[in-house]
């Protein structure tokens, strides 16, 4: 078991989303009743090979901070504010596109320590270069 202040990266099985639909990427962190959300920092990022990760969604100082959010995710992401108080930083992504496929990282820092989780998103239902057998 890790010390409460240590970071542990947890990985879960792939998440499969349907093209054009909505998907929720789960991210849970230690919480306690009455936890101060003003001290909570949360960032969802999407990894990119050979480049800086994209900012998908951020929350700190007690509110969502979307100034640095990548344009591709504008008006498509949502957190459950009540969930944050229960240790749930899961992100809903609306209108899933094939470009959304990839690895997402959830980083949470609270008064109880740091947590990072990794989710791999796969998109189904859109067919690129499919062959129809004759």
User: DSSP secondary structure string, 8-40?
Assistant: -EEE-PPEEEETTS-EEE--B----TT--GGG-
Class of domain 19-124: mainly beta
Contacts of 131 (CB under 8 A, 6+ apart): none
For the chain, domain boundaries: 19-124
Considering the entire predicted model, what is its pTM? 0.83
Rounded Cα distance between 22 and 65, Å, is 22
* Among 83, 25, 82, CA closest to 57: 25
Rounded Cα distance between 104 and 127, Å, is 23
pLDDT tens track, the chain, 134 positions: 333 433 344 455 589 999 999 999 999 999 998 889 999 999 999 999 999 999 999 999 999 999 999 999 999 999 998 899 999 999 999 999 999 999 999 999 999 999 999 999 999 985 554 444 44
């Amino acid at each position: 078991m890790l010390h409460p202040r240590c970071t542990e990266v947890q990985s879960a099985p792939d998440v499969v989303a349907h093209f054009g639909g909505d998907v929720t990427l789960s991210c849970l962190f230690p919480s306690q009743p009455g936890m101060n959300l003003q001290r909570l920092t949360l960032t969802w990022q999407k990894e990119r090979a050979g480049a800086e990760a994209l900012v998908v969604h951020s929350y700190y100082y007690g509110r969502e901070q979307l100034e640095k959010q990548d344009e591709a995710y504008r008006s498509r992401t949502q957190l459950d504010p009540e969930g944050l108080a229960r240790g749930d930083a899961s992100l809903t992504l609306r209108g899933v596109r094939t470009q959304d496929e990839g690895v997402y990282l959830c980083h949470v820092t609270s008064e109880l320590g740091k947590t990072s989780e990794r989710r791999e998103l796969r998109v189904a239902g859109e067919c690129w270069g499919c062959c129809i057998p004759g």
